[in-house]
Amino acid sequence: MMLRSLICFSLSLAAMFLFTIPALADVAPPAPPPGSNLLPGQELTRVRMVAESVVIVVQTVEAPNGNGIARVTANFTMRNLGAEAESMAVRFPISANDGFYNYPEIEDLQVRAAGKQLSTRRITIPDPEDNDYPLPWAEFDVTFPSGQDVLIEVKYTLEGVSEYPYVNFEYILESGAGWQGTIGSIDLIVRLPYDVNPYNVLIESSWGMGQTSPGAVLSGREIHWHYDELEPERQHNLSVALLLPSAWNIVLTEQGNVQRNPQDGEAWGRLGRAYKTVSRLRRGLRDDLGGLELFELGIEAYEKAVTILPKDALWHAGFAELLFDGYYWQEYSSSAKPGLLRALQELDRAYELKPGDPFIRDLVEEVSLALPEGLALKGDVPTFLWLTATPTIPPSPLPSVTSTPTLAPTKIPPTPTSAPTETEIPASAPSPLPESITPQPSQTNLPATEEPGAQLCATMLLIPLAIWLKKIHH
């Protein structure tokens, strides 16, 4: 009786975890239901999960709502350690409260046991957060002969929680604690449509809605975790934070373009913009080594662009925006601010070349409000006060913030440029859209933060309230 009570209590804890989403301190997109281990029925069981292998294949195509999609295949080797056969209704959760009292469901669920396709039935269990709302589960019948292994395969489509350019996928291991004993061996694999590296997998930082579980091994196109004799608890649940394929494929495409045409200044500018996009967080810059390296690669790409195209105002402005990002989140607390001086120089050049451009005018206005001692506006005409013969930058007038430490990033080997051909821009193509306009080809759209009026999103907490309110209405 005590053991039966313990198993029921463990199952209750697993169910509470699966369907309870913690309150978030920041505005965030709804969270879809995570992938999950199988749960036994409520009866006492002598069936053990001997081995578990889960492969999460991230798809190139994303959901209409912008969420990343993965196809999950989970294989379970189950062994009945008892003296008699057991027949039970095995359960699999297919929905969860997304944090906003919506209940999205896992799609395309298929189950096989002992090589045979099984039919599933829909059952409901009350939501622990709201007993008036029944949560749907899939239930299917399995017989476990004594002393024999039974192979169960579960396939389904999983949406990640996404906010461009990031996505997070999860898989719940702790529900496997309801089976007899430990799980003998566990292999968790996340497979991407291109080589994985610290650029496109967030290993040591979080984008706000998730981060990668410790112990990840990156090899080829796969991220791998392995456990032996594990009694899974909450800390073992899988989480992996990635760049959305649509965002990373833009980087791969532009890397290929500059390799084929190293004197194409437009391609270098597009590559710099792509690096800038994937090195940013909602507020700030990525502080992992991969993110810091992306920021430096962005500087190098923009440097190439403005060297080859010195009279292109919008690439100068885009370069200035990237450098201001670095100032706010890396240079702010340091005495030397070379990036800030270069940013002012690039913005000055951009304004000189194209003073009427909306992107440039908005950037000048925001910088003047954030750094009034360095850039003054008289009417619509800027004066770059710190760009003198012997520039002296006084202590920043901005309020104190916690900045990202400036680290010397470890060089990461270049990523193979195996982007899909349909997203590549031929060398003979006409000049692309300027920095201030978001391109629209399928699967290569940049986020709204690249549009005019939404620059320096990382500095929202640092600029006056009036400009913050202005941003809300754009």
Give the tokens for residue 48.
């053990």
Least confident of 21-25, 91-95, 263-267, 340-344: 21-25
pLDDT digits (tens, 9 = 90+) for 211-233: 899 999 999 999 999 999 999 88
Quick one: what percent of the chain has pLDDT higher than 70? 70
Q: What is the pLDDT of residue 274?
A: 98
Look over the chain and give the mean of its residue pLDDT values, rounded to a whole number: 76
Give the tokens for residue 458.
């990382």
pLDDT band at 452 (very low <50, low <70, confident <90, very high): very low
Residue 204 in 3-state DSSP? coil
pLDDT digits (tens, 9 = 90+) for 90-107: 988 887 766 666 677 888
Q: What is the distance between the alpha carbons of residues 345 and 378, in angstroms, rounded to a whole number?
A: 19
* Domains of the chain in sequence order: 2-243 (2.60.40.3680), 246-472 (1.25.40.10)
Q: What is the distance between the alpha carbons of residues 419 and 421, in angstroms, rounded to a whole number?
A: 6
pLDDT digits (tens, 9 = 90+) for 32-74: 456 666 767 655 889 999 999 999 999 999 999 889 999 999 9
268 close to 304: Cβ distance less than 8 angstroms:
yes
Higher pLDDT, 197 or 414: 197
Q: Is pLDDT above 90 for 257?
A: yes
pLDDT digits (tens, 9 = 90+) for 374-385: 899 988 899 999
Q: What is the distance between the alpha carbons of residues 438 and 251, in angstroms, rounded to a whole number?
A: 15
- Residue 66: CB atoms within 10 A of its CB come to 15
pLDDT digits (tens, 9 = 90+) for 263-303: 999 999 999 999 999 999 988 899 899 999 999 999 999 99
Q: Is pLDDT above 80 for 325?
A: yes
Q: What is the distance between the alpha carbons of residues 199 and 202, in angstroms, rounded to a whole number?
A: 7
Residue 64 in 3-state DSSP? coil
pLDDT digits (tens, 9 = 90+) for 76-87: 999 999 999 999
